Amino acid sequence: MTMTVLVNAGPWLAVPPAGYGGIENVVAALVPELRRRGIRVLLATVGSSTLPVEQRISVFPDGQFAELQRPYNQVMGVAAAHLHRVVREVRRAGGAIDLVHDHQEAFGPTVLSALGPPAPPVLHTLHWDLSKHPALYSNIDGGGGLWVNGVSFAQLSTAPRALRALSVGHVHLATPLAVQAHRRPQHAKRGHLIVLGRITRYKGQHVAARLAHRTGRDLVLAGPVGPFHSPGRLAAAERGEANPDVRYWREEVAPLVDGGRVRWVGTVCGEDRDELVGSARASLFPIDWEEPGGTAVVESLALGTPVVGFRRGCLPELVEDGRTGLLVDPGDEDALADATGRVAALDPGVCRQEAARRFTPARMAERYIRLYERVLARRGRR
Ligand code: UDP
C-alpha cells in the first residue's frame, strides 16, 4: 500500500524510549512494520529519537517527561508547542499526508481534525483508562474527520459515549519481544515476583508489597516514581514534591520496601529489564484502574512469565486464565496471594507461544492498516 502517515508520538519521551515509555514502545514497534508494508512515515517526536523513518519533525531536542510535573499551564505549553509543529507540517504538506495517526492525548485530536481541507483525517489512539479520566476528552469533536481506536475492547466499553461514537475499533498492543518468542531460550527462573511499570496507585505496588511480606516471596518493583528514575534521584529531590505518585510512594509503598524481601530498583532498561522479568515467577498486576492496554502484560508473556492480577481492564483479553496467568476478583488479596503459589504450575513456554501468536508488531501493524483503510473509506461521510 502506498500511503503517507504522520505518526505523532508526542513530546514526552524519545522513540524508542531509553527505559520507561509504554506509548513510545508501541510506536517503536508499529512504525518499522508499517514501513515494511510500504507506508511512508513522518514521525513527530523529540530530537533524541533514533527510530528510522522517512522524515522526523520535532521542537524539543529531548523528551519533556520531567516537565509533566510542572503546573498544568506549563505542561499544556509543552504539549501545544509540539502540536503546533505538527499542525505546521500538515499545512505545509498541503494534502501529501494521507492520514495522521495521533498518540498525544487531550486536546491534540480536536485541533488536528479542525484544520479543514486539505488536512488528512486523524486516527487517535486512546492510551488511558477513560473511565478514570473522562475530562481528558471533554472537548472532543469528530466533525472534522477525527476517529479513535482503543487499545483493548474493555477500554472502549468503559469510555464516555462521545468517544465511543468516534471509534473504529480496538487494536491490542504488541512487543518486539513476541517475535519468535516461542523459539527463544527461557531465562532461568529465580523465583521473585515483579511489578514493572510506573510506581503509581493505578498499578497497585502497595498491594504487591503487602502480599510479598505476607507470603514470604521476594518482590522487585521496577519503574519510575514520577519523573525520578532511581532511588538516589528521588531522595535528592523529594522535599516539597507535590507529585501524587511521589506522595503515593512515600506514604504507601516506601514503608513496605525493606531492600530485602521488597526492593525498588528504579527504572530498568533493555537486557536488564528482560532478565528481571523473564526470570520472575510471575508479573503482578494488582491494578486499581481499568488497565487500558498493558504493554507490560504482553512483554511479560513474551518473556515466559505468567501474569497474576485482578480481573479487570484489558487483563482478561490478554491473559488466558489458568493457562498464561491467574486472574482473581478485583481487591481480593487472599485470592491474589493464593495465586502466587499456584502460578508455578503454569508453563512459561505456553506464555511465550501465545505471545508469539497474538502480540507481534506485524500483527498490530496489519490491524492498524485495516483501521487506516476504514478511516479513509469513511472520510467525507459525516
Ligand atoms: N518500562 C521499562 N522500564 C521500567 C518500567 C517500565 O522499560 O523500569 C517499560 C515497560 O517495559 C513498558 C512501558 O515502560 O514497555 C510501560 O508501559 P505500560 O503500558 O505497561 O504502562 P503505562 O504506559 O500505563 O505506564
Does 19 have pLDDT greater than 70? Answer: yes
C-alpha to C-alpha distance for 311 and 194, rounded to whole angstroms: 18
pLDDT at 382: 54
177-358 architecture in CATH? 3-Layer(aba) Sandwich (3.40)
Q: Cβ contacts of residue 146 below 8 Å, gap of 6+?
A: 109, 110, 112, 113, 121, 122, 124, 140, 166
| Atom 25 (ligand 1) nearest CA | 198
CA of 297 to the centre of ligand 1 (A): 9
Of 83, 105, 101, nearest in space to 41 by CA: 101
- Within 13 Å, how many C-alpha atoms sit on residue 60's CB side? 22
Which are the contacts of 177, defined by CB distance < 8 A and separation ≥ 6? 274, 299, 302, 303, 355
The C-alpha atoms of residue 140 and residue 255 are separated, in whole angstroms, by 41
Name the class of domain 3-174+360-378. Answer: alpha beta
Average pLDDT over residues 85-90: 92
Distance (Å, whole) CA 208 – CA 204: 7
Q: Does residue 27 have a pLDDT over 60?
A: yes
User: Could you read off the pLDDT of 60-83 as tens digits, one per residue?
Assistant: 999 999 888 777 788 889 999 999
pLDDT band at 339 (very low <50, low <70, confident <90, very high): very high
Distance (Å, whole) CA 184 – CA 345: 20
169 phi, psi to nearest 5 deg? 135, -170
Q: What average pLDDT does range 15-43 have in this prediction?
A: 96
C-alpha span between 130 and 132 (Å, rounded)? 5
**Same topology for domains 3-174+360-378 and 177-358, yes or no?**
yes
In this structure, the residue with its CA closest to atom 9 of ligand 1 is 20
Task: Please tell me the residue having the least CA distance from ligand 1 atom 5.
Answer: 223
Residue from 377, 378, 380, 376 nearest 97 by CA:
376
Quote the ipTM score: 0.98
Query: What are the pLDDT digits (tens) for 190-226?
Result: 999 999 999 999 999 999 999 999 999 999 999 999 8
Answer yes or no: is the C-beta of 222 below 6 A from any ligand 1 atom. yes
Question: What is the atom index within ligand 1 of the atom nearest the CA of 265?
Answer: 8
Mutate to test the pocket of ligand 1, among 12, 25, 130 (most ligand atoms within 8 A of CB): 25
Residue 296 CA: nearest ligand 1 atom is 20
Q: Average pLDDT, stretch 9-13?
A: 96
Cα–Cα distance, 338 to 343 (Å, whole number): 9
Q: Is 267 in the pocket of ligand 1 (CB under 6 A)?
A: yes
Ligand 1 nearest atom to the CA of residue 17, by list position:
7
* Top mutation candidate among 196, 298, 364 for ligand 1, by most atoms within 8 Å of CB: 196
Q: What's the confidence (pLDDT) of residue 137?
A: 79
User: Which residue has a Cα nearest atom 2 of ligand 1?
Assistant: 20
The pLDDT tens digits for 90-129 are 989 988 999 999 999 866 777 777 777 678 999 999 999 9
Give the ligand 1 atom nearest the CA of 26.
Answer: 15
Whether 121 is in the pocket of ligand 1, judged by its Cβ within 6 Å, is no
- What percent of the chain clears pLDDT 70, i.e. is strictly above it? 96
Q: What percent of the chain has pLDDT over 90?
A: 77
Gap from CA of 303 to ligand 1 centroid (Å): 14
299 lines ligand 1 (CB under 6 A): yes
Domain segments of the chain as ranges: 3-174+360-378, 177-358
| Mean pLDDT confidence for 335-361 | 98
List the beta bridge partners of residue 194: 220, 283
**Residue 160 CB-density burial (10 A; 0-12 exposed, 13-18 middle, 19+ buried):** middle
The bridge status of strand 307-310 relative to strand 325-328 is parallel
pLDDT category of residue 380 using cuts at 50, 70 and 90: low
Atom of ligand 1 nearest to the CA of 19: 7
CA atoms within 13 A on the CB side of 37: 18
Ligand 1 pocket, 296 CB below 6 A?
yes
Q: Given pLDDT bands bounded at 50, 70 and 90, which one contains residue 148?
A: very high
Radius of gyration of the chain (CA): 20
Query: Burial code of 168-178, b = ≥16 C-beta within 10 A, e = fewer?
Result: bebbbbbbbbb
Q: Which atom of ligand 1 is nearest to the CA of 21?
A: 14
How many CA atoms, within 13 angstroms, populate the side-chain half-sphere of residue 278? 19
Residue-averaged pLDDT of the chain: 93
pLDDT at residue 163 greater than cutoff 90: no
Helix 333-342 / helix 205-215 crossing angle, nearest 10 deg: 60
197 lines ligand 1 (CB under 6 A): yes
pLDDT at 111: 74
